[in-house]
Amino acid sequence: MTNSGMLKKLEEVEIKYIEIEQNLNAEGLDPNNIRKLSMERAELEEIIEKFREYKEVVKNIENNKQLLGDKELGQLAREENLELEELKSGLEKSLELLLIPKDPNDGKNVILEIRAGAGGEEAALFASNLLRMYERFCEQNKWKLETLNLNETGIGGIKEISASIEGRDVFRKLKYESGVHRVQRIPATETGGRIHTSTATVAILAEADEVDITIEDKDLRIDTYRASGAGGQHINKTDSAIRITHAPTGIVVQCQDERSQHKNKAAAMKMLRAKLFEMEELKKLNELSDNRKSQVGSGDRSEKIRTYNYPQGRVTDHRIGVTLHKLDMILDGDLNELIQLLTTYFQAESLKEISN
């Protein structure tokens, strides 16, 4: 914790914490203020405890240094300082992570969208591969994945799919998956053995509660239609599919996976809230400085983030410059290493901002 910028930040947090405690002890506080101040104090308690422990350790190290020249106590002080320096280092790392602003969306469920991009049928097949990868990852994390809308091709590919994923820390783990995913492989239909490049777009939308986004009924146009499967064949004899258009933004969502019109409408509204919530989040992001944007991620779905190369059995994440030669494992849902590397990278970028 030699960085003066970080020490200053910690001292500012402690001053704020002391002010909150003083305000809580003031007379005549109404219940709403007590609740608000108590929540603010609770959010800061862990970092304040660590910071005060850190300052006590630094103080003890300095006190021991005064004893190093003492014949009787010098050796003891030296040995104790070895332990204290190790403790100090651990506390510094903890404090660095605690200083990173928490993403309020980390605990939210998500709407997953996958769309085939450039590459025709091969892109649709790749979109299907990506869906299976996320399905397997959900199984490993004991998350619930539910299809909301699916548009398939005739030979097992996916033009587009929307699905909800519910579970613990879903957004925290999946938020860096948004962007263009690229595949390089020889399609089954390729007779000349040439490697083709195709793409699919992944979007991870934090699921918004009704309190997060207000939607006026007068702004909605709701249409019903008959759900159909791949190739146009009808899979439902009633007009249960729902299409909702949000007039102010032009956003259109649809859901046809349920046989119940009521369930399809509820699912479509969930998708609409998530898209409107994403728009608000991107608006906030655009107000940040370019430097800060680079540290929290651009949020740009057109950004090519990852390449899956079949001939070489590798996966490369272009944002962090990391290549893993475990294509089969990753496509089978083993995303933990990639997610940890991405999390560490973006945490480090956030720490640069704090240190400045």
The residue ranking higher by pLDDT, 72 or 23, is 23
Average pLDDT, the chain: 87
What are the tens digits of pLDDT across the range 161-218?
A: 999 999 999 999 999 999 999 999 998 777 678 899 999 999 999 998 777 788 998 9
| Residue 161 exposure: Cα atoms within 13 Å on the Cβ side | 29
* Rounded CA separation 87/73 (Å): 21
CB count, 10 Å around CB of 221?
A: 10
Residues facing 204 on adjacent strands: 112
What are the tens digits of pLDDT across the range 104-132?
A: 888 899 999 999 999 889 999 999 999 99
What does the pLDDT average to over 264-278? Answer: 91
115: tokens are 């769309």
In this predicted structure, the answer to whether residue 238 has a pLDDT above a threshold of 60 is no
In this predicted structure, the answer to whether residue 356 has a pLDDT above a threshold of 80 is no
The residue ranking higher by pLDDT, 356 or 250, is 250
pLDDT band at 250 (very low <50, low <70, confident <90, very high): very high
pLDDT value for 185: 95
What does the pLDDT average to over 220-241? Answer: 65
pLDDT value for 49: 95
pTM to 2 decimal places: 0.72
What are the tens digits of pLDDT across the range 296-345?
A: 444 445 679 999 999 999 999 999 999 999 999 999 999 999 999 999 89
What are the tens digits of pLDDT across the range 23-33?
A: 998 888 888 88
In this predicted structure, the answer to whether residue 288 has a pLDDT above a threshold of 90 is no
pLDDT value for 228: 61
In this predicted structure, the answer to whether residue 237 has a pLDDT above a threshold of 50 is no
217: tokens are 């009924």
Query: Considering all CA atoms of the chain, what is the largest pairwise distance in Å, rounded to the nearest integer?
Result: 94
Q: Worst-scoring range by mean pLDDT, 137-141, 160-164, 211-215, 261-265?
A: 211-215
pLDDT value for 299: 42
In this predicted structure, the answer to whether residue 134 has a pLDDT above a threshold of 90 is yes
* Rounded CA separation 278/208 (Å): 9
